[in-house]
Structure 1
């Protein structure tokens, strides 16, 4: 396994990258850019720079210093070889396979993420590998090795100062797109698309190096599963934690429940499809190529003997799970001393408060006085093409996004609301759940499966809400609210 990382092919010029860094940083902070421009204009006009230096210097410092001095926080919980020998052995083997010869720390974090970041320990330069507990639990050993190998390779390819600054500048520009006062969308899109030609080849090179060390099957499985686990964590896990937190509770079996949901035949395929649907990117925001492109670009390499069917065993899994759950409770700011409950012992109806809230918002947004008439108005909006206005009434943030992003955001908002309200109404009308983890797939009175989300998506895409209207008789006045 002594495969060193392959050298990155000759990339774009350093000058072009510095220009992109400066331009994206400036556009990410338009207020600072305007102040700087005004000061520069005054200096040229008045031919005196000293009085204005005291204005522009703090502005430049506020904009540039965070970009240059960024340091990661040591979140999560340290893992030592004596405590988790199987996991730390796998980490060491992968690092050696890539020729990654730096002092290395390992920390388990609560969310499904993997990252290798430079840190300092006792004054010495080290690297820390952050491993998300959901991924350690769900990925086979060979897939986890592939994920780690890809992060080590990415650090080797993209760990240079200029590349890191380019990524941070790009990230700050993407973050600024959600602000009310932001750069013109066309200009931001042009810079993001231009910087993508520098970033994407590095991602593909890291994938290829990971395949050389961990085997192509492991990388392929990891790339496919990571997005699914991430979607489950944020779609389901965040909802569970927030709903329970409102009552002063927290899910002590969160990770066990996520495992159960991901094993559900009506949940995992939907989440996997959503994670793989990443080609619609009108503003070139994605830092990595679409999943299909990455999978197609993988070179063929055999595996290297790591278990391809089972996760790496954790000796102290219960303690790590308890600590990570507490981290999430703290992050969600649950008031007081929260009480532990088991998700697997709760009825699915415990989480129907979101259904009632969605129905209430739909009634208010449509100006109707019942859920049935509100759903009829929503069907009318789909038919006459005014559904984006309805989505904006449901979630005002969609109207504040850059214009190229509004259509997809509005569609996601409306699908989410109508799916939630229709599913809740049908359950109240006597239909059954096909899964305890979702109300989007139901069993109708005749025993047939009925996919609510698919129905809503087809109605919006085709502009034909006939099937939604056919469900209106199931909406009794008290069906949801």
Structure 2
């Protein structure tokens, strides 16, 4: 059958097999250098000291690791969705699979975070593909946009079924993991290999995007790509603190996903999230990113119509309330723990047994974010942030601390001030430090600037973001944007002009 997959594969994969296997071998060799070095050390010690048992340590390390990897005993992530229980979702997945030509056994599971993935797992004595769909995607994306996401995942698997492509992706992943952490001794060897193979894996992603467009249409695929980045950035930057803050007060947000969907309707939230996502795409010092930047993915989409008709509204899950409750508790307890962990902890609290998990937290009670005073979510975080700024700048008043920050922007010394807030900046790759320092400095300066403006009568303009303020005359300013521009230009004049308009001034230091 002449499926879209077969047409793209014939046109796209012209990479030399010899070249690919050379890169695969080189990447795996570099990735395993630490283990080889460790093994040589142990063998040398065994020969010198006569402790021959030491020579078996590297071998046992490999055997144990392999047994864990292939045991198949790890629980599947997410919550299972049965076709009888969610026929609309099952029908959508089945229809997309038919369009893509994906005929393997496929299970669907819902996960709490905005992500989608496809992998193989051992189920009931056999192997099956498992499609993971994030609940935020199911709630926000329309059926046609969700079809584009599913088509991308299934098409991607079709493309990497070629033996050397799968090996290439796995080798890159293994090598990229060695570059995590403070110390990256393999970076000089790994980065050139990752950089040379990155176009090859990006080609796979772009081909999967093209297949998604042929299934769901170019417009829906474009919207799905844009919304996915917004969902991830908003979830990480805005929504996750909603879980930590109430939990510290003995509560949990039962309407977490309702509040998340409501926040996405705010233009200030979506603009900030798009900015954060673009910043993330721009920094890839070791070429570890397996996905091209969003702009490149959008530009490469073919202009085609959808192969089938899909709805313009999100799917309604019949078991939506139960799935949402399960996902919220999974987020609170951790991705690898079951929902029963919350019940066990609460039962232990009732019995007066406060273990390591429940110590100091007590029985969690449900609250609704959309009914809370927004200041309850902002309060402690802002107080802690202001206390940190005053401590780092060694000033007693917010106006004095603000003067220190603006002077540092004016004379160019703000990266040093940012390092005082976050000493671990020095461990980042040099190419990542400016963006990270700017983010830290923007957050710290924004905290004290908001404090000064609120003391002058300004108020929060929305319930979601503490940096979006309304002046007494009703005008709205996002001080985050103002400070980003000031840091980029090295000129705090617009910030000082805003302070003058607000009728407040910096205090001398």
TM over 0.5: yes
Q: CA RMSD in A?
A: 3.1
Structure with the larger RCO, 1 or 2 (CA within 8 Å, 6+ apart): 1
Give the Cα separation in 1 of the matches to 2:66 and 2:494: 54
Q: Which residue of 299, 303, 309 maps to 2:302?
A: 299
Relative to structure 1, is the Cα distance of residues 171 and 88 closer, same or farther in structure 2, using a 3 angstrom cutoff?
Answer: same
1:433 aligned partner: 460
8 Å CA contact 1:2–1:97 kept in 2: the answer is no
Q: Give 3-state SS (helix, strand or coil) of 1:266's partner.
A: helix
Relative to structure 1, is the Cα distance of residues 66 and 382 closer, same or farther in structure 2, using a 3 angstrom cutoff?
Answer: farther
Give the Cα separation in 2 of the matches to 1:287 and 1:67: 23
CA shift at 1:188, angstroms? Answer: 3.4
2:412 aligned partner: 385
Gaps of 5+ in 2: 336-356
CA shift at 1:402, angstroms? Answer: 1.8
Gaps of 5+ in 1: none
Moved more, 267-276 or 137-146: 267-276
Q: Give 3-state SS (helix, strand or coil) of 1:130's partner.
A: strand
CA shift at 1:339, angstroms? Answer: 1.2
Q: Which residue of 54, 57, 65 maps to 2:56?
A: 54
Give the Cα separation in 1 of the matches to 2:397 and 2:173: 43
Give the Cα separation in 1 of the matches to 2:469 and 2:201: 43
8 Å CA contact 2:401–2:448 kept in 1: the answer is no
Give the Cα separation in 1 of the matches to 2:383 and 2:374: 14
1:171 aligned partner: 173
Alignment of 1:100-119 (within 5 A): 100-119=102-121
CA shift at 1:453, angstroms? Answer: 0.7
8 Å CA contact 1:113–1:131 kept in 2: the answer is yes
8 Å CA contact 1:356–1:421 kept in 2: the answer is no
Give the Cα separation in 1 of the matches to 2:438 and 2:72: 36
CA shift at 1:374, angstroms? Answer: 2.0
> What TM-score do you get using the length of structure 1 for normalisation?
0.89
Relative to structure 1, is the Cα distance of residues 306 and 396 closer, same or farther in structure 2, using a 3 angstrom cutoff?
Answer: farther
1:319 aligned partner: 322
Q: Is 2:448 the partner of 1:401?
A: no
Q: Is 2:310 the partner of 1:283?
A: no
Relative to structure 1, is the Cα distance of residues 37 and 388 closer, same or farther in structure 2, using a 3 angstrom cutoff?
Answer: farther
Moved more, 72-81 or 446-455: 72-81
Relative to structure 1, is the Cα distance of residues 231 and 192 closer, same or farther in structure 2, using a 3 angstrom cutoff?
Answer: same
Give the Cα separation in 2 of the matches to 1:70 and 1:428: 59
1:99 aligned partner: 101
Q: Deviations over 1:411-456 (max 9, x none)?
A: 1221222223322432343212221111222111222221201111
1:343 aligned partner: 369
Moved more, 418-427 or 236-245: 418-427
> What TM-score do you get using the length of structure 2 for normalisation?
0.84
Relative to structure 1, is the Cα distance of residues 72 and 157 closer, same or farther in structure 2, using a 3 angstrom cutoff?
Answer: farther
Q: Is 2:279 the partner of 1:253?
A: no
2:5 aligned partner: 5
CA shift at 1:224, angstroms? Answer: 0.8
